[in-house]
DNA sequence: CTGAGTTACGAATCTCGTAACGATC
DNA sequence: GATCGTTACGAGATTCGTAACTCAG
Protein backbone atom coordinates (compact mmCIF):
# COMPACT_ATOMS: atom_id res chain seq x y z
CA UNK A 1 0.00 0.00 0.00
CA UNK A 2 1.67 2.97 -1.27
CA UNK A 3 4.86 3.20 0.63
CA UNK A 4 6.51 6.17 -0.94
CA UNK A 5 7.29 8.76 1.65
CA UNK A 6 10.46 9.74 -0.16
CA UNK A 7 9.17 10.95 -3.45
CA UNK A 8 7.19 14.09 -2.96
CA UNK A 9 3.48 13.62 -2.79
CA UNK A 10 1.98 16.83 -4.05
CA UNK A 11 3.42 16.51 -7.50
CA UNK A 12 1.53 18.37 -10.15
CA UNK A 13 0.04 20.96 -7.90
CA UNK A 14 1.21 24.38 -8.96
CA UNK A 15 0.96 25.99 -12.35
CA UNK A 16 2.42 24.02 -15.18
CA UNK A 17 6.04 23.50 -14.32
CA UNK A 18 6.75 19.83 -14.68
CA UNK A 19 9.90 19.96 -12.63
CA UNK A 20 12.05 17.15 -13.80
CA UNK A 21 13.51 15.55 -10.76
CA UNK A 22 12.67 17.07 -7.46
CA UNK A 23 15.05 16.90 -4.62
CA UNK A 24 17.00 13.80 -5.39
CA UNK A 25 19.81 14.80 -7.62
CA UNK A 26 20.99 17.24 -10.21
CA UNK A 27 19.90 15.68 -13.44
CA UNK A 28 22.66 15.87 -16.07
CA UNK A 29 20.11 16.70 -18.71
CA UNK A 30 19.11 19.81 -16.84
CA UNK A 31 22.73 20.80 -16.48
CA UNK A 32 23.35 20.39 -20.17
CA UNK A 33 20.38 22.59 -20.96
CA UNK A 34 21.45 25.09 -18.35
CA UNK A 35 24.87 25.42 -19.93
CA UNK A 36 23.36 25.90 -23.36
CA UNK A 37 21.19 28.73 -22.04
CA UNK A 38 24.09 30.22 -20.11
CA UNK A 39 26.10 30.29 -23.31
CA UNK A 40 23.54 31.85 -25.59
CA UNK A 41 21.64 33.88 -23.00
CA UNK A 42 18.62 33.08 -25.08
CA UNK A 43 16.17 30.24 -24.60
CA UNK A 44 15.19 29.97 -28.23
CA UNK A 45 18.78 29.58 -29.35
CA UNK A 46 19.56 27.16 -26.56
CA UNK A 47 16.56 25.06 -27.53
CA UNK A 48 17.94 24.63 -31.02
CA UNK A 49 21.36 23.80 -29.66
CA UNK A 50 20.11 20.97 -27.49
CA UNK A 51 17.36 19.85 -29.85
CA UNK A 52 14.44 20.56 -27.58
CA UNK A 53 11.34 22.69 -27.84
CA UNK A 54 11.48 26.17 -26.37
CA UNK A 55 9.00 25.23 -23.74
CA UNK A 56 11.03 22.26 -22.66
CA UNK A 57 14.06 24.41 -22.12
CA UNK A 58 12.01 26.93 -20.20
CA UNK A 59 10.68 24.14 -18.02
CA UNK A 60 14.06 22.60 -17.43
CA UNK A 61 15.51 25.89 -16.27
CA UNK A 62 12.60 26.38 -13.92
CA UNK A 63 12.99 22.84 -12.64
CA UNK A 64 16.62 23.44 -11.94
CA UNK A 65 15.88 26.68 -10.16
CA UNK A 66 13.21 24.99 -8.09
CA UNK A 67 15.48 22.08 -7.32
CA UNK A 68 18.25 24.37 -6.15
CA UNK A 69 15.96 26.89 -4.54
CA UNK A 70 17.54 29.81 -6.29
CA UNK A 71 17.11 31.84 -9.46
CA UNK A 72 19.79 31.08 -12.01
CA UNK A 73 18.90 33.82 -14.49
CA UNK A 74 17.38 37.25 -14.43
CA UNK A 75 14.84 37.69 -17.16
CA UNK A 76 15.22 41.17 -18.52
CA UNK A 77 14.05 42.86 -21.68
CA UNK A 78 17.44 42.70 -23.27
CA UNK A 79 17.89 39.02 -22.61
CA UNK A 80 18.74 36.60 -19.87
CA UNK A 81 21.55 37.18 -17.46
CA UNK A 82 23.19 34.78 -15.05
CA UNK A 83 22.62 35.53 -11.40
CA UNK A 84 25.31 34.99 -8.80
CA UNK A 85 23.92 31.52 -8.22
CA UNK A 86 23.99 30.82 -11.94
CA UNK A 87 27.54 32.01 -12.15
CA UNK A 88 28.47 29.72 -9.27
CA UNK A 89 26.77 26.74 -10.83
CA UNK A 90 28.26 27.08 -14.29
CA UNK A 91 31.80 25.81 -13.68
CA UNK A 92 30.60 22.97 -11.50
CA UNK A 93 28.04 21.92 -14.08
CA UNK A 94 30.80 21.79 -16.64
CA UNK A 95 32.89 19.60 -14.36
CA UNK A 96 29.94 17.36 -13.70
CA UNK A 97 29.30 16.82 -17.37
CA UNK A 98 32.96 16.25 -18.02
CA UNK A 99 33.12 13.65 -15.26
CA UNK A 100 30.08 11.99 -16.74
CA UNK A 101 32.02 11.49 -19.93
CA UNK A 102 35.06 10.31 -18.05
CA UNK A 103 33.03 7.67 -16.28
CA UNK A 104 31.89 6.29 -19.60
CA UNK A 105 35.38 6.34 -21.01
CA UNK A 106 36.83 4.64 -17.95
CA UNK A 107 34.28 1.87 -18.11
CA UNK A 108 34.82 1.37 -21.81
CA UNK A 109 38.53 1.19 -21.30
CA UNK A 110 38.22 -1.29 -18.48
CA UNK A 111 35.67 -3.49 -20.20
CA UNK A 112 37.18 -3.41 -23.67
CA UNK B 1 3.81 15.81 -35.08
CA UNK B 2 5.83 13.27 -33.30
CA UNK B 3 9.25 14.63 -33.75
CA UNK B 4 11.35 12.52 -31.42
CA UNK B 5 14.17 10.90 -33.30
CA UNK B 6 16.48 11.33 -30.34
CA UNK B 7 14.77 9.28 -27.70
CA UNK B 8 14.91 5.66 -28.70
CA UNK B 9 11.79 4.29 -30.25
CA UNK B 10 11.73 0.65 -29.35
CA UNK B 11 11.44 1.28 -25.65
CA UNK B 12 9.88 -1.52 -23.70
CA UNK B 13 10.78 -4.27 -26.07
CA UNK B 14 12.96 -6.74 -24.27
CA UNK B 15 12.22 -8.62 -21.12
CA UNK B 16 11.26 -6.50 -18.20
CA UNK B 17 14.18 -4.20 -17.56
CA UNK B 18 12.82 -0.71 -17.28
CA UNK B 19 16.17 0.86 -17.96
CA UNK B 20 16.04 4.20 -16.31
CA UNK B 21 17.66 6.64 -18.63
CA UNK B 22 18.98 5.26 -21.85
CA UNK B 23 21.87 6.85 -23.55
CA UNK B 24 21.62 10.40 -22.40
CA UNK B 25 23.47 10.64 -19.17
CA UNK B 26 24.58 8.85 -16.07
CA UNK B 27 21.73 9.35 -13.67
CA UNK B 28 23.00 10.20 -10.18
CA UNK B 29 20.35 7.98 -8.67
CA UNK B 30 21.78 4.99 -10.47
CA UNK B 31 25.24 5.87 -9.30
CA UNK B 32 24.09 6.13 -5.71
CA UNK B 33 22.50 2.71 -5.94
CA UNK B 34 25.56 1.32 -7.66
CA UNK B 35 27.80 2.48 -4.85
CA UNK B 36 25.51 0.97 -2.26
CA UNK B 37 25.68 -2.37 -4.02
CA UNK B 38 29.41 -2.10 -4.50
CA UNK B 39 29.78 -1.55 -0.79
CA UNK B 40 27.62 -4.38 0.45
CA UNK B 41 28.10 -6.76 -2.49
CA UNK B 42 24.53 -7.71 -1.82
CA UNK B 43 21.43 -6.35 -3.50
CA UNK B 44 19.12 -6.99 -0.59
CA UNK B 45 21.32 -5.05 1.80
CA UNK B 46 21.88 -2.27 -0.70
CA UNK B 47 18.13 -1.96 -1.19
CA UNK B 48 17.66 -1.33 2.50
CA UNK B 49 20.49 1.17 2.53
CA UNK B 50 19.00 3.30 -0.23
CA UNK B 51 15.38 2.70 0.75
CA UNK B 52 14.30 0.95 -2.40
CA UNK B 53 12.78 -2.45 -3.18
CA UNK B 54 15.12 -5.24 -4.12
CA UNK B 55 13.72 -5.33 -7.60
CA UNK B 56 14.31 -1.64 -8.09
CA UNK B 57 17.95 -2.03 -7.18
CA UNK B 58 18.29 -4.99 -9.48
CA UNK B 59 16.76 -2.96 -12.28
CA UNK B 60 18.91 0.07 -11.65
CA UNK B 61 22.07 -1.97 -11.81
CA UNK B 62 20.93 -3.54 -15.05
CA UNK B 63 20.03 -0.12 -16.41
CA UNK B 64 23.44 1.18 -15.57
CA UNK B 65 25.11 -1.81 -17.17
CA UNK B 66 22.99 -1.39 -20.28
CA UNK B 67 23.68 2.33 -20.37
CA UNK B 68 27.42 1.77 -20.15
CA UNK B 69 27.43 -1.34 -22.27
CA UNK B 70 29.41 -3.33 -19.75
CA UNK B 71 28.82 -5.65 -16.83
CA UNK B 72 29.59 -3.99 -13.52
CA UNK B 73 29.24 -7.06 -11.33
CA UNK B 74 29.72 -10.78 -11.65
CA UNK B 75 26.86 -12.69 -10.12
CA UNK B 76 28.31 -15.69 -8.43
CA UNK B 77 26.99 -18.09 -5.85
CA UNK B 78 28.99 -16.51 -3.09
CA UNK B 79 27.76 -13.03 -3.83
CA UNK B 80 28.35 -10.16 -6.21
CA UNK B 81 31.77 -9.06 -7.25
CA UNK B 82 32.86 -5.93 -9.06
CA UNK B 83 34.20 -6.43 -12.54
CA UNK B 84 37.08 -4.39 -13.92
CA UNK B 85 34.52 -1.98 -15.34
CA UNK B 86 32.80 -1.73 -11.98
CA UNK B 87 36.09 -1.09 -10.28
CA UNK B 88 36.84 1.67 -12.78
CA UNK B 89 33.46 3.28 -12.31
CA UNK B 90 33.44 3.33 -8.53
CA UNK B 91 35.85 6.21 -7.82
CA UNK B 92 34.38 8.33 -10.58
CA UNK B 93 30.87 7.72 -9.34
CA UNK B 94 31.97 8.91 -5.92
CA UNK B 95 33.43 12.07 -7.41
CA UNK B 96 30.30 12.63 -9.41
CA UNK B 97 28.10 12.41 -6.35
CA UNK B 98 30.44 14.62 -4.40
CA UNK B 99 30.38 17.24 -7.14
CA UNK B 100 26.60 17.06 -7.14
CA UNK B 101 26.63 18.11 -3.53
CA UNK B 102 29.17 20.80 -4.18
CA UNK B 103 27.01 22.31 -6.87
CA UNK B 104 24.15 22.62 -4.42
CA UNK B 105 26.37 24.13 -1.78
CA UNK B 106 27.88 26.62 -4.19
CA UNK B 107 24.49 27.78 -5.35
CA UNK B 108 23.21 28.09 -1.81
CA UNK B 109 26.26 30.10 -0.86
CA UNK B 110 25.91 32.42 -3.83
CA UNK B 111 22.20 32.92 -3.48
CA UNK B 112 22.01 33.18 0.28
C1' DC C 1 2.41 42.36 -35.54
C1' DT C 2 6.88 40.27 -34.24
C1' DG C 3 10.03 38.08 -31.05
C1' DA C 4 10.89 35.94 -26.64
C1' DG C 5 9.42 33.48 -22.54
C1' DT C 6 5.79 31.09 -19.91
C1' DT C 7 1.70 28.22 -19.04
C1' DA C 8 -1.76 24.49 -20.29
C1' DC C 9 -2.50 20.09 -21.69
C1' DG C 10 -1.81 15.45 -23.39
C1' DA C 11 0.80 11.22 -25.10
C1' DA C 12 4.66 8.51 -24.48
C1' DT C 13 8.00 7.14 -21.16
C1' DC C 14 9.99 6.17 -16.86
C1' DT C 15 10.21 4.82 -11.83
C1' DC C 16 9.42 1.77 -8.30
C1' DG C 17 6.66 -1.48 -5.60
C1' DT C 18 4.14 -6.06 -5.25
C1' DA C 19 4.03 -10.57 -6.82
C1' DA C 20 5.69 -14.58 -9.06
C1' DC C 21 9.89 -17.25 -10.51
C1' DG C 22 14.35 -19.53 -10.58
C1' DA C 23 18.55 -20.91 -8.54
C1' DT C 24 21.68 -22.02 -4.71
C1' DC C 25 22.42 -23.90 -0.15
C1' DG D 1 12.44 -24.42 2.76
C1' DA D 2 15.30 -20.16 3.26
C1' DT D 3 17.89 -16.71 0.82
C1' DC D 4 19.13 -13.92 -3.01
C1' DG D 5 18.61 -12.21 -7.61
C1' DT D 6 15.52 -11.58 -11.77
C1' DT D 7 11.25 -10.99 -14.42
C1' DA D 8 6.29 -9.49 -14.94
C1' DC D 9 3.09 -6.14 -14.35
C1' DG D 10 0.65 -2.03 -12.95
C1' DA D 11 -0.06 2.71 -10.67
C1' DG D 12 1.66 7.01 -10.41
C1' DA D 13 5.10 10.49 -11.74
C1' DT D 14 8.03 12.60 -15.30
C1' DT D 15 9.42 14.37 -19.94
C1' DC D 16 8.70 16.92 -23.90
C1' DG D 17 5.98 18.69 -27.78
C1' DT D 18 1.96 21.52 -29.64
C1' DA D 19 -0.80 25.27 -28.85
C1' DA D 20 -2.36 29.28 -26.53
C1' DC D 21 -1.15 33.37 -23.67
C1' DT D 22 1.60 37.45 -22.04
C1' DC D 23 4.66 41.18 -22.44
C1' DA D 24 8.03 44.39 -24.68
C1' DG D 25 9.27 46.82 -28.93
Question: Residues B46-52: contacts with CB within 8 Å, 24+ apart?
Answer: B51/A6
- Residues A69-94: what's their mean pLDDT? 93
CA nearest A35: which of A55, A20, A50, A17? A50
Whether B28 and chain A come into contact, CB under 8 Å, resolves to yes
CA nearest A106: which of B57, B91, B25, B88? B88
Q: Is B92 helix (H, G, I), strand (E, B) or coil?
A: helix
Cβ partners under 8 Å of residue A65, min gap 6: A71, A72
A18 vs A82, more confident: A82
Count of CB atoms situated within 10 Å of the CB of A101:
11
Highest mean pLDDT among A79-83, B13-17, B40-44: B40-44
B8 DSSP assignment? -
B17 vs A79, more confident: A79
B23 DSSP assignment? S
Q: What percent of chain A has pLDDT over 70?
A: 79
Cβ partners under 8 Å of residue B66, min gap 6: B17, B19, B22
What does the pLDDT read at residue B93? Answer: 97
What does the pLDDT read at residue B14? Answer: 30
Distance from CA of A64 to the nearest CA of B (A): 11
- Residues A10-18: what's their mean pLDDT? 40
pLDDT at residue B2 tops 60: no
Whether A109 and chain B come into contact, CB under 8 Å, resolves to yes
Whether A27 sits inside 8 A of B28 (CB atoms) is yes
Residues for chain B: how many in total? Answer: 112
pLDDT at residue B102 tops 90: yes
Domain ranges of chain B: 7-101
- Give the Cα separation of A22 and A55 in Å (integer): 19
pLDDT at residue A27 tops 70: yes
- Give the Cα separation of A107 and A101 in Å (integer): 10
Q: Closest CA to D4 C1' — which residue?
A: B44
- Give the Cα separation of B84 and A58 in Å (integer): 41
Half-sphere exposure (Cβ direction) of B83: Cα atoms closer than 13 Å: 18
Q: Radius of gyration over alpha carbons of chain A, in Å? A: 16
For residue A32, what is the nearest residue in chain B, using CA coordinates?
B25
CATH of A7-101 given 3.40.50.10190, 2.40.70.10, 2.30.110.10, 1.10.10.10: 1.10.10.10
Residues of A in contact with B104 (CB under 8 A): 26, 68
pLDDT at residue A99 tops 90: yes
Whether B87 and chain A come into contact, CB under 8 Å, resolves to yes
- Residues B50-77: what's their mean pLDDT? 94
pTM of the model: 0.84
Amino acid sequence: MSNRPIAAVSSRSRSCSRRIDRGISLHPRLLKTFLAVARSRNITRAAEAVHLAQSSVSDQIQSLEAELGAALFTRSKTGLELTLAGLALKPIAEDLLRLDGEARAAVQAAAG
